[in-house]
Structure 1
Amino acid sequence: MTDIQIGFAGIAILLVLIACRVPIALALISVSFGGMAVLLSPKAAWGALGVIPYSFTATWHLSSIPMFVLMGFFCFHAGLTTGLFRAARMWLSALPGGLAVAGVLGCAGFAAVTGSSIACAAAMGRIAAPEMLRYRYDEGLATGTIAAAGTIGALIPPSILFILYGIIAQVQVSHLFLAGFVIGLITVVAYSLVIIVRVMMNPDLAPKAEEHIGWGDRFDALKDVWPILVLVLGVFGGLFAGIFTPTEAGGIGASLSLLIAMVRRSITVEGVWISLKETLTISSSIFIIAVGASMLTRFFTFSGVSDAIADITIGMGVSPLMLILAITVLYLILGMFLEPIGAMLLTLPILLPLVEAAGIELLWFGVLVAKLLEIGMITPPIGLNVFVLKGVIGDRISIGTIFSGVTRFILADLVIIALMVAFPNIILFTQNLLQ
C-alpha cells in the first residue's frame, strides 16, 4: 500500500471504531499510533506517543481551559448564577412567553461563566423549566426552550470550543471570543423571537402569570445579578480591552469568581474541593481527546492524506460555497452522534487544509463550526442537551416531547447559518474592533 492509501485506510478504521462506540480519544490515539507504525516504524510510533502529548499540552494557551472550567464550577457551587433567571423573569414578565424568554437570557448569562452547553442546559433545567411548568407552559415549549438555549453556552465566551479551535487553527482566541459573543447574541434574539411569535399565535402555549410584579420587585431582583456582572465585566472587559491575554483571563476569572463567592459567603470548603475535582475530570478528558487529534494530524501529515484531499477538491473545481454546504451537512450529521469537542477535533485535521485552500477566513469558519456543532446537541437521535434535560426533569416529560420542542429552534439556527454564509461580515467585522 502507498502512504496515501494507508492514510485513507486509517480514516476508514477510525470511522468504524467510532461507529462501534469506542471512546473517541482511544480511537484517535490507536489509529494514529498504528498508522505511524505502518508508515514509519513501531519505534517511531512509540516515539511520537511519548513526545506529542507533552509537546501539545505543554503550552500556556491550554492553561486557560481548566481555569475557565474552574470559574464555571465556582460560580455554580457558590450559587452565583441562581439570580439570573429570577431577574430576567421579573423584567420580561409582560412579554408573550416571558418565562421562556427569561430562560433563554438566563442560559446566555450562565454561558458567560461556564463555556459549556451541557452545563447550561443542566443548570437552567433545574431552575427555569420547573418554573415554566408550574405556570402551565406547554411542556414542549418549556423543555425545548432550555435544551436549545443551552447551546448558547458554547458560543458566548469563555467557549472551550473556541479555545481549542484557536490553538489548532492558529487564530487569536480573543477574536474568536468576540465573534462568538456576536453570534451568541444573534442566537438569543432569534430564540426569543421564536418564542414570542409562537405564543402570540397560540397564547395557550404560555398562559399569563397571575401575579403583580412592581418596579420595586424588578430592581430588587437585580441585586442577585451583580456577582455575574462584576465577573463578566472584569474578565472579558479586561480581555477585549487588551489588559490581559486569554490565558491570563482564565486565571483571573477563576480567582475573581472564588473571591466573589467568599465575599458573599456562598461557597464552602467542600464546594471548593468538588469544583477542583470536577475541573480535573473535565479538563483531563478534553486534553486526552486533543492529544489524540494532534497525533491524527501528525499521521495525516506523514501519509499525505490532507494534501491529497485538498488536491482532489481543488481538481474537482468545488466552489467555496459548495465546500461550506458539504461541511455543514457533515457537521450536522456528526453532531447527532458525537459530542462537540470530539467531533471538532476529529475533523479539523482534514478540513482545515481544504478551508485554507479555498480561501475561506478561518475566524469565520471557527464560528460556523461551533454553531453547527451546537445544533447537533439538540438533534435526534443523540441530542446530548435533550438527554441532559430529560435527566433533570425525570419521567414527567418524554424524550419525544423535548425533541418536538426544539424543532423550531433548530429551524431558527439554520436561518442563522444561512445569514452567516450570505453575509460573512456579520462575524468578520469583529476583527477590526480588536486591531
Structure 2
Amino acid sequence: MELGALGQGAASIGAILVLLFCGVPVGVAMIAVAGLTMYLSVNPNFAFAMFRTLPYAVTSNYTYVVVPMFVLMGIIASRAGIIADLYDAAHRFFSRMKGSLYISTIMASAGFGAASGSTIVAASVFTKIALPEMRRYNYHPGVSAGCIAAAGTLAALIPPSIIMVILAVLTDQSIGALLMAGVIPGILTALIYILGVRVFVGIRPDWAPPIEDRFTWAERWQSLRRVWAVVVLAVLVIGGIYKGFFAPSAAGAVGAAGALAIALVMRRFSLGALWESLLETARITAVLFFIFIGGLMLSRALVITGFIREVNDLIGVFGITPAGFIAIVILVYFILGMFVDSVSVMVITLPFIFPMSQTLGIDPIWFSVLLIKLVEIAAITPPIGLNLYAVLTAAGSEVTARQIFIGVLPFVLLEFVFLALLLSVPEIATWLPAQMRG
C-alpha cells in the first residue's frame, strides 16, 4: 500500500525518533532517513545527487564560518578562567543577600553567555566552580545543581549563541538579527531567575543558609578589575553586530581573536592550551555541521514528498489559528524535550514547523526566540535534559540524579513565567532587531 505525502512525512519523522531512542546520533539518523525517503519517493539518482552536492554546499558556505569561530571564542574564554573571575565578582557583590550563591551563579552565567555560545560549556564549568562553594555553605544540593543547569541555558539566548546560529542556518534567516533578538529575553530571564530565587529562599530558608563572608566595598570594586575581559568581548561581538561594523560571520572571527588576545594578556594561556582549544573546536564543529547537513536533507525530503504542502493545506482545512498552533508547538516541544535532547528536537521539527508558522503569518524572529526558549526548557526538563547531565557528569558524586531532577523544577516553573511574558509581549524579542535594521 502506497503512503500519501502526509504518511511518508510522518513515517520519516517517526523513523528518526525511533533511531534516536535506539541511540543513533541525530545527524546519522536524519541523513539516513532523508536519503531513504528521497530514494523511494523520487529516484535513486536524485538521492545520490543530493548526497554529493548538499554536504559540500553547507561546508563551503562562508556564512557558516561563524559557527567554529563562536565555538573557539567560548572555549578560549573558558580555558582562560574568565568564568571564575565573573563568579568571584558576583559573589562579592551579593554576599550579604539571602541566596547569594544562587544569585551569583545566575549573574555570572549571564555574563559568561556573552563570551560563550554553549550552554553545555557554561553548565559544566560552573559546576566545577560554583557547586563546591554551595556545598561548603550547606546549600540544598539539588537546588544548587538545578540552579547551575538552568543558569547555563542563558547562553542559548545571549549572543553569541551557537543554537541561535543553528536555527538561523536551518530557517534561512539573518544570523545577526536573531542574535540581537536574544539579548533582551536573555537578560529578562536572568532577572526572573533572581527574583524567583529570592521568593523561593524566603519560603524555604533551608535552601540557602546565611553566609558569614563579608567584603568591603574596596574589595568588591577590586574584583571588577578582573571582569573587563567579558565587557570587551561583549562590546566587540554584540556591539559590532548591532552597529553593523561587521557581519556575524566576521564577528565570530573578531570574537575568537579577541578572546585569544585577552587570554594571552592575562597570561593564562599557553601554546598547548591553544592547540587543545583548536582540537576541541574542530570536534564540536564537525558534529554541528553533520547536524546541519542532516537537518537540511530532512527539510528537502519533506518538501519533495509534498509533506510540507499537505500540512499547510491542513492548516486551512481545519482552521488552525496562530494561537492554536503556538499551543500545539509548546506542547510538542515540552513532551519531546522530556525524552529527546533539545538540539535533536529543534533540528527534526524545524523543517515543517517553521514553514507552518510562516503560513499563519507569525513573526519569524519572535517565533525563533520562542523556539529557543522551548529548547532551553527542554534542556533542563527531566529525564533527558542535556544541561542536567552536563552538571551530573561534572559534579561526580556530589549530587544524585534524583536530587537535580527535583531541584531544577522551581527553575522550570520560572521559565514558564518568562514564556507567558514572551507570549503576551512579543516586542521583548522583536524590538532590538527592529532597531538594528532601522
Give me the TM-score of the superposition, normalised by structure 1.
Answer: 0.97
Q: Secondary structure in 2 aligned to 1:429?
A: helix
For the residues of structure 2 that align with 1:67 and 1:77, how far apart are their CA atoms? 15
Task: Select 1:51's aligned residue among 47, 50, 53.
Answer: 53
Q: Secondary structure in 1 aligned to 2:82?
A: coil
1:31-110 counterparts in 2 under 5 A? Answer: 31-110=33-112
CA contact (8 A) 1:150 1:385 kept: yes
Deviation, 1:306, is 0.7
1:285-364 counterparts in 2 under 5 A? Answer: 285-364=287-366
For the residues of structure 1 that align with 2:19 and 2:391, how far apart are their CA atoms? 28
Task: Select 1:112's aligned residue among 111, 114, 126.
Answer: 114
Deviation, 1:171, is 2.3
Deviation, 1:167, is 2.4
Could you tell me which residue of structure 2 aligns to residue 246 of structure 1? 248
CA contact (8 A) 1:99 1:132 kept: yes
Could you tell me which residue of structure 2 aligns to residue 14 of structure 1? 16
Deviation, 1:2, is 5.4
Task: Select 1:207's aligned residue among 194, 205, 209.
Answer: 209
For the residues of structure 1 that align with 2:372 and 2:289, how far apart are their CA atoms? 18
Runs of 4 or more off by more than 3 Å in structure 1? 5-8
Deviation, 1:136, is 1.5
Q: Deviations 1:115-147 (Å, cap 9, x if unpaired)?
A: 111111101111111111111212222211111
Deviation, 1:315, is 0.9
More displaced, 249-258 or 385-394? 385-394
1:245-284 counterparts in 2 under 5 A? Answer: 245-284=247-286
More displaced, 191-200 or 2-11? 2-11
**Aligned-partner residue type, residue 312 of structure 1:** L
Aligned pairs, number: 435
CA contact (8 A) 1:293 1:345 kept: yes
Q: Secondary structure in 2 aligned to 1:114?
A: coil
Deviation, 1:180, is 0.7
Deviation, 1:178, is 1.7
CA contact (8 A) 2:95 2:213 kept: no
Could you tell me which residue of structure 2 aligns to residue 393 of structure 1? 395
Q: Deviations 1:224-265 (Å, cap 9, x if unpaired)?
A: 111111111122211111111111000000011111111121
CA contact (8 A) 2:30 2:295 kept: yes
Deviation, 1:3, is 5.7
**Aligned-partner residue type, residue 289 of structure 1:** I
1:394-409 counterparts in 2 under 5 A? Answer: 394-409=396-411
Deviation, 1:53, is 0.8
Q: Secondary structure in 2 aligned to 1:94?
A: coil
**Aligned-partner residue type, residue 128 of structure 2:** R
Could you tell me which residue of structure 2 aligns to residue 161 of structure 1? 163
Deviation, 1:274, is 0.6
Deviation, 1:97, is 0.6
Q: Deviations 1:77-128 (Å, cap 9, x if unpaired)?
A: 1222220000000111122211110000111112111111111110111111
Q: Secondary structure in 1 aligned to 2:182?
A: helix
For the residues of structure 2 that align with 1:127 and 1:396, how far apart are their CA atoms? 13
For the residues of structure 1 that align with 2:252 and 2:4, how far apart are their CA atoms? 41
Deviation, 1:16, is 2.3
Deviation, 1:6, is 3.3
Task: Select 1:382's aligned residue among 381, 384, 395.
Answer: 384
Q: Secondary structure in 2 aligned to 1:174?
A: helix
For the residues of structure 2 that align with 1:143 and 1:313, how far apart are their CA atoms? 42
The alpha-carbon distance between structure 1 residues 19 and 397, as it changes in their structure 2 partners (threshold 3 A), is closer
Q: Deviations 1:5-31 (Å, cap 9, x if unpaired)?
A: 433332332232223222111111111
Deviation, 1:304, is 0.5
Aligned: 1:181 with 2:183 = yes
For the residues of structure 1 that align with 2:77 and 2:13, how far apart are their CA atoms? 41
**Aligned-partner residue type, residue 314 of structure 1:** G
The alpha-carbon distance between structure 1 residues 198 and 2, as it changes in their structure 2 partners (threshold 3 A), is closer
Structure 2: state its 5+ residue gaps: none
Identity %: 36
Q: Deviations 1:284-333 (Å, cap 9, x if unpaired)?
A: 10100110111111111111001101111221011111100100111112
**Aligned-partner residue type, residue 21 of structure 2:** A
For the residues of structure 1 that align with 2:186 and 2:236, how far apart are their CA atoms? 20
Could you tell me which residue of structure 2 aligns to residue 151 of structure 1? 153
The alpha-carbon distance between structure 1 residues 385 and 8, as it changes in their structure 2 partners (threshold 3 A), is closer
Could you tell me which residue of structure 1 aligns to residue 218 of structure 2? 216
More displaced, 200-209 or 189-198? 200-209
Q: Deviations 1:359-410 (Å, cap 9, x if unpaired)?
A: 1001001100111011111111112211211122222321111111111110
Deviation, 1:75, is 1.0
